[in-house]
C-alpha cells in the first residue's frame, strides 16, 4: 500500500471527477437517443455534457486510487464500476441531482435501474445481466451499492453506500450510526508481544492480504484495538476501527468497504456481549484480512474462513517498562518502578501520555499515580467504591508478626517484576503475579484499617466491594458481578478489598441439589479469577474456620489480627483521644485494664464521648467514656464488666 501515501486528496478527487465525466456523457448519449425533444431530456443532456467538459484527469496519478482499491479488492466488473459512478453522480453536483430528479418516475434525485439498463445497451440480455449484478453481484453482496424503492425493479433507485462517495474523493467521511474508534497509532512497548509466533502469523496474514479472521481477545476493548493497530502497523498498513455487534452484517459491510477504500486494515471491536450467546462475525465473503477484538468467548469461528487467535494474556514486563519510558521520558531511570507500581497495558500507558501532554509541568511519580486514577477509575461496577486512603503504618496497632506480614505483602507487590521476570521465578517455580491476603480476627480488630494501610503503602487506591451486592440467588449472576469487579480493579490497579468474604469463599459442600453444585462452581470460579488477578486483593473474615481450605492454600498471606493486649489497648485509647480536650479525671490506664475490647469499640467510644462533650460545652470525662463503652457492650449483647474503681483523690 505504499502508493497510497503518494496520492493527495486533490488528485483523488480530480481523478474521480474525470471518471464521473465519462459516465455523465454516456447518460447524455442515452437521453439523446431514447428521449423525444418534447420530454425536456435534451436540456438535461446538454447540462451533462457541459458539466463533463469541466472534468479532466490529473496527469501521472499512481495506480491505487480509492475507487481502484474497491474494484481490485472486490473484483468488480467494468459494469459494476460504472454503476458505482452512476450512483454517485447526484452526490457530485447539485445540478446533476436536479437532472436525475427530473428523470426519476418518483421524483427522487437518484438514477434508476432502468436508466442503468439503457447505459448497458437496453437489450433483454443487458437487462437480465443488470438484474443479476444488482441482486447478487459483488457490489451488492459487499453493500457498496443498494437498490431501494417499492415500485417495479427497473423503477427503483440505485444508491451508493453511506459516505462512500466522499471517501472515494479522498475525504475522511464516515457513515452515521457506526461508532468509529479514533486510532492514535500503535502504542509503544509492544515489540516483544509482536514477536510471539501467533502474532507474527497475524502480521503475515495482513501482509499477504489473506482471507482470514485475526482475533485479538481482551476484556478491555481499547487494549485490544491498540494491539490490532500494532499488528497492522507491523504489516505496513494503517488501521481503521469501529464498534459493531458481530451479527450486524450491514454495518460490518460498511466498515469493510470504507477500510478498503482507504487502503486500511479493518478493525472491529465487539462490544460487551456477556448477556448474549457467542456468535460468528458476519463478514460474508469479504476477501481480505479482518482484525477483531472481543472479550474471550464472545465469538465463535466461521466455518468458511481461516482464523488466527493470539494470546490474551499480559505483555512481558520489558514491554511495560518500554511503554512507561516512552510516556514519561523526563522520569529517566524510573520506568521500571512505574511499571511495577502501575503495570498498565502499553495501550493504556499511551492513553495516559495524552493526559500528561496537556499539563504545563513535568509530573513526579505521585502526580502520575493520580492521573492513572483519573484515566482508569471510571465505570465502576455496582457495589464498588473507590477510595483514596491515607493510613500510615504508624497508625496501626498490631502484633509485630502481623505488621511484618502486611509490609511483606506490599514488598511482594512492588518486587514481583524483579523476582518473577528478571530473576525468572515465573518460569522456574511457576510463580504467579499478584498478591492475595486474608485478614482474620474478631470484629473491630482493624481489618479494614489494615487494608487501607496496605493501599496507602502501595501508593494506590482502595476498592471496597459490598459483597452483599455481588452474591446473587440467580445462577451465573455472582460470577458475572465478580468478573466486573475484578476487571474494574485491574483497570484502576487499586487494592481490592472483599470485606466479610465468608459468603464468597465458604467451605464447599457435598452436592445435594443444583444450588449446591452452582455454589461450588462459584467458589471454583473465584479461586481461578483470584489467581489471574495481578494486583493486591484483600479478603477479611471474622471466622477463619469458615473459609474453604482449598482457598487458604492459594493465599500468599494469612494475617491474624487478634484482640489488642493491654499495651495495644492503651495505645489505641491514647491515639483516639486528643490531649487538649481531656478532663483531669481521665485515666486511660484504668480503661485499658478494665475493658478488654477491640480497637473498633475504643474508636466508637472515643468518638461518642467527644460528641457528647462538645454538645455540653465540656471536656471528655472518665464517666463519659465509661458510658460510651457500656453502650458498645450493650450493642454486642455482652455483659458490662462494671464501673472502674474510684480513685482516692475522688473522695477528697
83 to 38, 53, 55, 352: CA distances (angstroms):
28, 21, 19, 47
**Which of these, 412, 376, 410, lies nearest to 391 by C-alpha position?**
410
Q: What is the mean pLDDT of the chain?
A: 83
**Rounded Cα gap, residues 410 and 429, in angstroms:** 21
- For residues 128 and 312, the model is more confident at 128
Least confident of 241-245, 320-324, 518-522: 518-522
Establish if 56 belongs to a structural domain.
Answer: yes
**Residue 69 and residue 160 in one domain:** yes
Kindly give the pairing relationship between strand 180-181 and strand 157-160: unpaired
C-alpha cell at 573: 485509647
Q: Is 83 left (phi over 0), alpha (psi -120 to 50) or beta?
A: alpha
**Rounded Cα gap, residues 488 and 377, in angstroms:** 8
Establish if 382 belongs to a structural domain.
Answer: no
**Which of these, 178, 270, 282, lies nearest to 224 by C-alpha position?**
270
| Residue at a domain's end among 543, 560, 577 | 560
No. of helices (H) and no. of strands (E), the chain: 28, 14
**Residue 191 and residue 258 in one domain:** yes
**Residue 346 and residue 417 in one domain:** no
Question: Taking residues 5-21, what's their average pLDDT?
Answer: 66
Confidence of residue 260 (pLDDT cuts 50, 70, 90): very high
**Which of these, 351, 294, 316, 314, lies nearest to 490 by C-alpha position?**
314
- Is the per-residue pLDDT at 23 higher than 80? yes
SS3 for 95-116 is HHHHHHHHHCCCCCCCCEHHHH
Nearby residues of 288 by Cβ (< 8 Å), 6 or more positions away: 73, 209, 210, 211, 260, 265, 266
Establish if 175 belongs to a structural domain.
Answer: no
**Residue 594 and residue 641 in one domain:** yes
Q: Is the dihedral of CA 470, 475, 480, 482 positive or negative?
A: positive
Question: Taking residues 116-130, what's their average pLDDT?
Answer: 89
**Rounded Cα gap, residues 45 and 27, in angstroms:** 7
**Residue 540 and residue 577 in one domain:** no
Q: Check if the beta carbon of residue 492 is closer than 8 Å to that of residue 377.
A: yes
Confidence of residue 501 (pLDDT cuts 50, 70, 90): confident
Give the whole-number percent of the chain exceeding pLDDT 70: 87
- Alpha-carbon 547 to chain mean position: 33
**Residue 515 and residue 641 in one domain:** no
Instruction: Report the CATH number at residue 597.
Output: 1.10.8.60
**Residue 509 and residue 541 in one domain:** yes
Burial 405-426 (b: 16+ CB within 10 A, else e): bbeebbebbbebbeebbeeeeb
How many domains does the chain fold into? 5
Least confident of 141-145, 189-193, 642-646: 642-646
- Is the per-residue pLDDT at 131 higher than 80? yes
Helix (H) or strand (E) holding 437: strand 435-440
**In the block, which residue shows the cell 433483454?**
124
- Is the per-residue pLDDT at 478 higher than 90? no
Q: Check if the beta carbon of residue 173 is closer than 8 Å to that of residue 161.
A: no
**Which of these, 614, 609, 599, 610, lies nearest to 631 by C-alpha position?**
609
- The C-alpha R_g of the chain, in whole angstroms, comes to 35
**Residue 212 and residue 352 in one domain:** no
- Is the per-residue pLDDT at 631 higher than 70? yes
DSSP letters, 304-354, are TSEEEE---SPPPHHHHHHHHHHH-TTSTT-HHHHHHH----HHHHHHHHH
| Residue at a domain's end among 291, 309, 327 | 309
**Residue 102 and residue 199 in one domain:** no
HSE-up of residue 76 (Cα within 13 Å, Cβ side): 25
Give the model's pLDDT for residue 508.
43
- The boundaries of the domain holding residue 22 are 2-168
- Is the per-residue pLDDT at 62 higher than 60? no
Instruction: Report the CATH number at residue 416.
Output: 3.40.50.300
Instruction: Report the CATH number at residue 249.
Output: 3.40.50
**Residue 298 and residue 280 in one domain:** yes
Q: Check if the beta carbon of residue 441 is closer than 8 Å to that of residue 560.
A: yes
**Residue 509 and residue 635 in one domain:** no
Residues written for the chain: 652
C-alpha cell at 563: 484482640
SS3 for 234-284 is HCCCCEEEEECCCCCHHHHHHHHHHHHHHCCEEEEECCCCCCCCCECCCCC
- Is the per-residue pLDDT at 506 higher than 50? yes
HSE-up of residue 137 (Cα within 13 Å, Cβ side): 22
Quick one: 97 exposed, middle or buried, by C-beta within 10 A (0-12, 13-18, 19+)? middle
Establish if 475 belongs to a structural domain.
Answer: yes
Q: What angle do CA 240, 243, 245 make, to 5 degrees?
A: 130
Q: Which DSSP category does 468 fall into?
A: G
- Is the per-residue pLDDT at 3 higher than 50? no
Confidence of residue 518 (pLDDT cuts 50, 70, 90): very low
What's the maximum distance between 2 C-alpha atoms anywhere in the chain?
129
Give the model's pLDDT for residue 522.
59
**Residue 160 and residue 202 in one domain:** no
Amino acid at each position: 500500500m505504499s502508493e497510497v501515501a503518494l496520492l493527495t486528496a486533490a488528485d483523488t478527487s480530480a481523478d474521480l471527477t474525470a471518471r464521473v465525466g465519462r459516465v455523465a456523457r454516456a447518460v447524455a448519449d442515452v437521453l439523446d437517443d431514447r428521449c423525444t425533444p418534447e420530454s425536456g431530456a435534451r436540456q438535461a443532456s446538454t447540462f451533462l455534457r457541459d458539466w463533463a467538459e469541466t472534468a479532466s484527469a490529473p496527469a501521472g496519478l499512481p495506480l491505487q486510487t480509492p475507487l481502484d482499491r474497491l474494484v481490485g479488492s472486490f473484483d468488480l466488473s467494468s459494469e459494476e464500476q460504472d454503476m458505482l459512478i452512476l450512483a454517485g453522480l447526484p452526490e457530485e453536483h447539485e445540478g446533476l441531482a436536479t437532472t436525475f430528479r427530473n428523470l426519476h418516475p418518483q421524483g427522487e434525485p437518484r438514477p434508476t435501474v432502468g436508466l442503468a439498463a439503457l447505459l448497458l445497451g437496453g437489450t433483454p440480455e443487458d437487462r437480465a445481466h443488470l438484474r443479476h449484478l444488482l441482486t447478487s453481484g459483488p457490489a451488492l453482496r459487499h453493500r457498496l451499492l443498494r437498490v431501494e424503492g417499492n415500485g417495479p425493479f427497473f423503477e427503483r433507485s440505485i444508491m451508493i453506500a453511506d459516505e462512500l462517495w466522499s471517501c472515494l474523493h479522498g475525504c475522511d467521511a464516515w457513515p452515521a450510526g457506526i461508532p468509529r474508534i479514533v486510532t492514535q497509532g500503535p502504542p509503544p512497548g509492544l515489540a516483544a508481544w509482536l514477536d510471539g509466533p501467533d502474532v507474527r502469523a497475524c502480521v503475515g496474514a495482513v501482509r499477504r492480504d489473506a482471507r482470514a479472521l485475526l482475533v485479538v481477545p481482551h476484556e478491555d476493548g481499547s487494549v485490544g484495538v491498540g494491539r490490532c493497530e500494532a499488528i497492522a502497523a507491523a504489516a505496513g498498513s494503517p488501521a481503521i476501527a469501529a464498534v459493531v455487534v458481530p451479527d450486524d452484517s450491514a454495518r460490518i459491510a460498511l466498515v469493510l468497504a470504507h477500510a478498503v477504500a482507504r487502503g486500511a486494515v479493518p478493525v472491529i471491536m465487539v462490544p460487551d456481549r456477556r448477556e448474549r450467546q457467542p456468535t460468528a462475525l458476519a463478514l460474508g465473503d469479504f476477501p481480505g484480512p479482518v482484525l477483531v477484538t472481543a472479550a474471550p468467548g464472545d465469538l465463535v469461528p466461521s466455518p468458511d474462513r481461516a482464523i488466527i487467535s493470539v494470546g490474551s494474556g499480559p505483555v512481558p514486563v520489558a514491554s511495560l517498562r518500554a511503554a512507561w519510558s516512552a510516556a514519561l521520558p523526563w522520569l529517566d531511570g524510573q520506568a521500571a518502578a512505574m511499571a511495577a507500581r502501575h503495570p498498565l497495558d502499553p495501550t493504556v500507558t499511551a492513553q495516559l501520555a495524552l493526559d500528561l501532554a496537556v499539563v504545563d509541568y513535568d509530573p513526579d511519580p505521585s502526580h502520575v499515580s493520580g492521573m492513572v486514577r483519573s484515566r482508569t477509575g471510571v465505570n465502576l461496577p455496582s457495589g464498588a467504591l473507590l477510595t483514596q486512603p491515607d493510613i500510615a503504618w504508624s497508625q496501626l496497632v498490631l502484633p509485630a508478626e502481623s505488621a511484618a506480614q502486611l509490609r511483606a505483602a506490599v514488598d511482594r507487590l512492588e518486587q514481583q517484576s524483579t523476582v518473577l521476570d528478571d530473576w525468572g521465578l515465573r518460569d522456574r517455580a511457576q510463580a504467579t503475579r499478584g498478591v492475595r491476603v486474608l485478614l482474620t480476627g474478631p470484629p473491630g480488630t482493624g481489618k479494614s484499617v489494615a487494608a487501607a494501610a496496605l493501599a496507602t503503602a502501595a501508593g494506590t487506591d482502595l476498592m471496597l466491594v459490598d459483597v452483599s451486592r455481588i452474591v446473587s440467588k440467580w445462577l451465573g449472576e455472582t460470577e458475572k458481578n465478580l468478573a466486573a469487579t475484578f476487571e474494574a480493579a485491574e483497570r484502576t490497579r487499586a487494592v481490592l478489598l472483599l470485606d466479610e468474604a465468608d459468603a464468597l469463599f465458604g467451605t464447599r459442600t457435598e452436592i445435594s441439589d443444583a444450588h449446591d453444585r452452582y455454589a461450588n462452581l462459584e467458589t471454583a470460579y473465584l479461586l481461578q479469577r483470584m489467581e489471574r488477578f495481578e494486583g493486591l486483593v484483600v479478603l477479611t473474615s471474622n471466622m477463619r474456620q469458615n473459609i474453604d481450605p482449598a482457598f487458604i492454600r492459594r493465599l500468599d498471606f494469612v494475617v491474624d489480627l487478634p484482640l489488642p493486649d493491654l499495651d495495644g489497648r492503651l495505645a489505641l485509647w491514647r491515639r483516639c483521644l486528643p490531649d487538649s480536650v481531656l478532663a483531669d479525671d481521665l485515666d486511660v490506664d484504668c480503661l485499658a485494664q478494665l475493658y478488654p475490647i477491640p480497637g473498633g469499640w475504643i474508636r466508637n467510644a472515643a468518638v461518642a464521648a467527644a460528641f457528647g462533650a462538645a454538645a455540653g460545652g465540656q471536656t471528655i470525662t472518665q464517666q463519659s467514656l465509661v458510658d460510651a463503652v457500656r453502650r458498645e457492650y450493650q450493642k454486642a449483647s455482652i455483659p458490662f464488666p462494671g464501673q472502674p474503681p474510684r480513685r482516692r483523690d475522688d473522695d477528697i
